[in-house]
């Protein structure tokens, strides 16, 4: 049996076209009970922290009813009990920053953006922070308390140039820093500069030609490629039935490729010391020098597949059960310079930033590229609008020919049933002809 309690204050601020359009600070306080009775799961959650016995009783009643339909009882991997209390130390706790100060800073972004890209029609800044605590108590003896902290900003901008309409986004987040992250690292001027570049790309870019040309992926795209096309299929709940089922210990890509998921990365938005089952997080080498070598697990899948628990069980909030999630996922850097990656490509695409990515069980991935450029005779050329790349990871991996020596990560929110903060990244990658499909309008 486990109990999860949360007491969090969340603040949301929305600024449209430089004007404040919404501010809300709300409590997020509640309790969840998850029980395993006769090998079946029961779960009950609700607001408030005062009805513990009632929630446990309901969860048990549900589990008993489920157990009459079970074919195989669920078992859990043994893990050591944890007694811990973890603190966060932001320079400026978002809770202590006046709302007026936050709103004023965010409102400057639109002006900066219009200054850089006058074709901007509209922008919306959606900022959120949270600060609070959560507790995990289990019948195995775990008693764990951690402070929660996050700042997150998602900005969209729309522009119009002639008959063209462009829409782009930018997002960032931090769980190790407070408000200082926006004051020092992700200032409105920097966000505006990124948005203006992407908007110009959409408004000035030519349409891509369809086919399967060579592509060079910049670190943000490399990270998304790793997350969507490989990472999800290395989550044990999906791995069982996905394109990599039965591939553990087999070669899936070139020797230069190593993909890691970890709960501890510099500036990682997915950083966490213990997961929501009280398991200490450990790094997993998902692909090691081209060989599929590890899966992310929770206690249930660790027991079922005879794998170590990796501390990958995460719940968006007390309201839902923890499921297997990535944390910070990245390819290790290689040795090639960007010029080498571009060299010899007569016609191809350089994909820098994305707007939406999605995966499928057969390893199909799809990424909308909001900042992309042509590659012509080994050089980066003009912008491309409406570029989307897709393919099967099982095939695309085999077509990776060069791994860059640089490295970059970016933060975002993954939406596998629930939302989870994650970081993804890596170096530049070159994917040869036949690895990636580029769509084109008829």
CA distances from 129 to 92, 136, 176, 222 (A): 12, 22, 12, 27
Does 80 bind another protein (CB under 8 A)? Our answer is no
Does 347 bind another protein (CB under 8 A)? Our answer is no
Does 26 bind another protein (CB under 8 A)? Our answer is yes
Give 113's contacts (C-beta < 8 A, 6+ positions apart): 120, 123, 157, 192, 195, 196
Backbone angles phi, psi at 71, to 5 degrees: -100, -40
Give the one residue of 30, 178, 205, 383 binding another protein; rule: CB under 8 A.
30
Smallest gap from Cβ 326 to another protein, in A, equals 18
Does 329 bind another protein (CB under 8 A)? Our answer is no
Rounded CA separation 302/282 (Å): 13
| Residue 373, beta-bridge partner list | 350, 383
CA distances from 365 to 123, 237, 396, 408 (A): 29, 18, 10, 21
In angstroms, how far is the first alpha carbon of the chain from the final one? Answer: 57
Does 161 bind another protein (CB under 8 A)? Our answer is no
Q: Is the dihedral of CA 166, 185, 179, 5 positive or negative?
A: positive
8 A C-beta contact, residue 20 and residue 5 = no
Smallest gap from Cβ 3 to another protein, in A, equals 15
Which of the residues 360 through 379 are near another protein (CB under 8 A)? 360-364, 366-368
Does 38 bind another protein (CB under 8 A)? Our answer is no
Does 118 bind another protein (CB under 8 A)? Our answer is no
Q: Which stretch binds another protein (CB under 8 A): 182-190, 282-290, 331-339, 387-395?
A: 387-395
Of the candidates 396, 384, 358, 380, the one whose C-alpha atom is nearest the C-alpha of residue 441 is 384
Query: 328 vs 349, which CB is nearer to another protein?
Result: 349
Give the one residue of 83, 85, 104, 335 binding another protein; rule: CB under 8 A.
104
Rounded CA separation 227/409 (Å): 12
8 A C-beta contact, residue 27 and residue 33 = no
Does 357 bind another protein (CB under 8 A)? Our answer is yes
C-alpha angle 75-78-81 in degrees, rounded to nearest 5: 130
Which of the residues 6 through 25 are near another protein (CB under 8 A)? 10, 12, 14, 16-17, 19-25
Give the x-and-dash track for 256-295 against another protein (CB under 8 A).
Answer: ----------------------------------------
Length of the chain: 442
Does 217 bind another protein (CB under 8 A)? Our answer is no
Rounded CA separation 442/440 (Å): 6
Query: 335 vs 362, which CB is nearer to another protein?
Result: 362
Does 299 bind another protein (CB under 8 A)? Our answer is no
Query: 218 vs 338, which CB is nearer to another protein?
Result: 218
8 A C-beta contact, residue 290 and residue 399 = no
Smallest gap from Cβ 391 to another protein, in A, equals 7
Does 47 bind another protein (CB under 8 A)? Our answer is yes
Does 304 bind another protein (CB under 8 A)? Our answer is yes
Which of the residues 191 through 210 are near another protein (CB under 8 A)? 210
Smallest gap from Cβ 335 to another protein, in A, equals 29
Does 322 bind another protein (CB under 8 A)? Our answer is no
Rounded CA separation 299/297 (Å): 7
Of the candidates 257, 218, 170, 225, the one whose C-alpha atom is nearest the C-alpha of residue 359 is 225
Q: Which stretch binds another protein (CB under 8 A): 118-126, 139-147, 333-341, 422-430?
A: 118-126
Smallest gap from Cβ 34 to another protein, in A, equals 9
Which of the residues 167 through 186 are near another protein (CB under 8 A)? 167
Does 241 bind another protein (CB under 8 A)? Our answer is yes
Does 52 bind another protein (CB under 8 A)? Our answer is no
Which of the residues 140 through 159 are near another protein (CB under 8 A)? 158-159
Tokens of 143: 């008693």
């Amino acid at each position: 049996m486990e109990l999860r309690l949360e007491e969090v204050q969340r603040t949301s601020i929305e600024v449209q076209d430089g004007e404040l359009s919404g501010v809300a600070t709300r409590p997020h306080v509640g309790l969840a009970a998850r029980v395993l009775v006769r090998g079946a799961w029961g779960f009950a959650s609700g607001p408030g922290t005062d009805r513990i016995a009632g929630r446990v009783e309901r969860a048990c009643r549900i589990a008993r009813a489920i157990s009459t339909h079970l074919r195989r009882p669920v078992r859990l991997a043994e893990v050591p009990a944890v007694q811990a209390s973890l603190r966060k130390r932001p320079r400026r706790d978002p809770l202590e920053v006046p709302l007026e100060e936050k709103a004023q800073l965010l409102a400057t972004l639109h002006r900066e953006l219009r200054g850089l890209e006058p074709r901007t029609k509209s922008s919306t800044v959606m900022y959120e922070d949270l600060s609070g605590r959560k507790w995990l108590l289990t019948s195995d003896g775990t008693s764990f308390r951690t402070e929660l902290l996050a700042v997150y900003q998602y900005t969209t901008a729309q522009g119009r140039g002639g008959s063209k309409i462009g829409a782009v986004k930018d997002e960032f987040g931090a769980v190790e820093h407070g408000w200082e992250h926006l004051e020092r690292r992700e200032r409105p001027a920097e966000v505006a500069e990124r948005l203006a570049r992407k908007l110009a790309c959409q408004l000035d870019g030519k349409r891509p030609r369809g086919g399967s040309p060579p592509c060079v992926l910049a670190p943000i795209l490399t990270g998304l490629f790793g997350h969507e096309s490989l990472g999800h299929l290395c989550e044990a709940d999906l791995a069982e039935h996905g394109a990599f089922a039965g591939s553990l210990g087999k070669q899936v890509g070139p020797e230069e490729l190593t993909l890691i998921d970890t709960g501890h990365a510099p500036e990682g938005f997915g950083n966490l010391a213990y997961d929501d089952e009280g398991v200490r997080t450990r790094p997993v080498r998902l692909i090691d020098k081209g060989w599929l070598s590890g899966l992310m697990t929770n206690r249930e899948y660790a027991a079922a597949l005879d794998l170590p628990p990796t501390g990958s069980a995460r719940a968006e909030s007390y309201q839902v059960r923890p499921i297997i999630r990535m944390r910070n996922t990245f390819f290790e850097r290689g040795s090639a310079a960007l010029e080498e990656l571009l060299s010899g490509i007569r016609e191809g695409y350089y994909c820098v930033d994305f707007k939406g990515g999605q995966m499928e069980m057969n390893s199909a991935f799809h990424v909308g590229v909001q900042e992309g450029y042509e590659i012509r005779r080994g050089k980066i050329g003009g912008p491309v609008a409406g570029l989307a790349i897709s393919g099967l990871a099982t095939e695309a991996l085999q077509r990776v020919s060069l791994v860059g020596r640089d490295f970059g990560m970016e933060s975002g929110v993954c939406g596998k049933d629930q939302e989870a903060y994650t970081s993804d990244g890596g170096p530049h990658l070159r994917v040869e002809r036949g690895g990636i499909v580029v769509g084109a309008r008829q």
